[in-house]
Amino acid sequence: MDKPIVYVTRTLPEEQLSPLKEAADIEMWEKEDEPCPRDVLLEKAKTADGLLTMLSDRIDEELLKEALHLKVVANLAVGYDNIDVEAANKHRVICCNTPDVLTESTADLTFALLMAAARRIIEASDWIKQGRWTGWGPYFLAGADIHHKTIGIVGMGSIGRAVARRAKGFSMNVLYHNRRQNSEAEEELGAVWVSFDELLEQSDFVVCLTPLTKETKHMFNRSAFKKMKHTAFFINVSRGQVVDEGDLYDALVEKEIAGAGLDVFAEEPISKKHPLANLPQVTALPHIGSASKETREAMMRLCAENIALVLGEKQPKTEI
């Protein structure tokens, strides 16, 4: 019997896909550092039994209705707003993501971005690289303190808890907002649940880790930014569309908030002409939350294992 076909939408190292080697014939999008075009993905999906996808690939009704052999989609990300899970359920396609393996790395990046924004690290480094450092000054590149301040985490899942643990090491006061209270975060870390408005009003650093859903889209809008302190920073490591970017821009320019650290944008990639990228009080990163070599490889292996399990008619490790 022919082996099942798995299509991988990015060039990944074969050794990271070894769990799939026996189970399937693997085909990959061959151009390194270029995403698989939509028409290629649609065509490949028609014959594939499994897909290993990136967060930039849209898995929707248009794709699923023609994917008659498809049994499993494994997304190389914890977020899965690129997948219409309801449509996949209807077509009996199992969807998997990569939680847990990326928690600590994403928390590291979140805290690094918070620190970079507060202490103006990238701006300071550029000062030297652009040959502009002429001497010491009392307010030269003076930023904001982090230690003993209040961090407010919106979306207290496992990444939120890992960020809260880091915040505790900096003697920060930890608030959080979540639909459900997180007793682990409260007992282990002394995090305090507050309403969304209270979090905005009291936090020095508002950190967004909530998944993008219909309910969270544009939850950070002008009215939210107006409730924040003028000295506060907004840090986003979830999805760009959780924020109304025009409203964030206005809040920054009108100094309603002090600055922002952004790892994600509504439409990615952004160009250097993007209005937010041109504000000195914005630290902008190109969606690198989980981007350590070790973690990305763990994510690849988890995707491969999940696909192999489903193709072997077993329960995947991390089904959505």
Q: Does 303 bind ligand GLV (CB under 6 A)?
A: no
Assess whether 218 carries a catalytic annotation: no
Q: Does 82 bind ligand GLV (CB under 6 A)?
A: no
Which of 209, 242, 260, 298 is in the footprint of ligand GLV by CB under 6 A?
A: 209
Q: Does 160 bind ligand GLV (CB under 6 A)?
A: yes
Q: Does 159 bind ligand GLV (CB under 6 A)?
A: yes
Assess whether 287 carries a catalytic annotation: yes
In angstroms, the CA 122 to CA 101 distance is: 28
| Minimum CB distance to ligand GLV smaller for 4 or for 99 | 99
Q: Does 261 bind ligand GLV (CB under 6 A)?
A: no
273 contact partners, CB below 8 Å, separation of at least 6: none
| Minimum CB distance to ligand GLV smaller for 102 or for 228 | 102
> Token digits for 9?
């939408």
Contacts 24+ apart (CB under 8 A), 301-306: 301/16, 301/17, 301/18, 301/19, 302/74, 302/98, 302/101, 303/52, 303/74, 303/75, 303/76, 303/96, 303/98, 304/16, 304/17, 304/18, 304/19, 304/20, 304/52, 304/74, 305/19, 306/72, 306/74, 306/96
Assess whether 245 carries a catalytic annotation: no
Q: Does 290 bind ligand GLV (CB under 6 A)?
A: yes
Which of 79, 104, 192, 193 is in the footprint of ligand GLV by CB under 6 A?
A: 79
| Minimum CB distance to ligand GLV smaller for 16 or for 281 | 16
Q: Does 251 bind ligand GLV (CB under 6 A)?
A: no
> Token digits for 44?
């490949």
Q: Are 169 and 162 in contact (CB under 8 A)?
A: no
Of all residues in this chain, which one has the CB nearest to ligand GLV in the complex?
157
Q: Does 35 bind ligand GLV (CB under 6 A)?
A: no
Site string for ligand GLV, 36-75 (x = CB under 6 A): -------------------x--------------------
Site for ligand GLV in 94-113 (CB under 6 A): 99, 102
310 contact partners, CB below 8 Å, separation of at least 6: 50, 71, 72, 94, 96, 316
List the catalytic residue out of 287, 296, 301, 305. Answer: 287
Burial class from Cβ neighbours inside 10 Å (0-12, 13-18, 19+) for residue 100 reads middle
Q: What are phi and psi of 53, to 5 degrees?
A: -115, 160
Q: What is the 3-state secondary structure (H, E, C) of 4-16?
A: CEEEECCCCCHHH
> Token digits for 163?
């960020």
Which of 63, 78, 248, 298 is in the footprint of ligand GLV by CB under 6 A?
A: 78
The residue type at 83: I
Which of 25, 87, 108, 157 is in the footprint of ligand GLV by CB under 6 A?
A: 157
* Rounded least distance, CB 186 to ligand GLV, Å: 16
Residues lying near ligand GLV in the complex (CB under 6 A): 55, 77-79, 99, 102, 155, 157-160, 209, 289-290
Active-site residues, by number, are 239, 268, 287
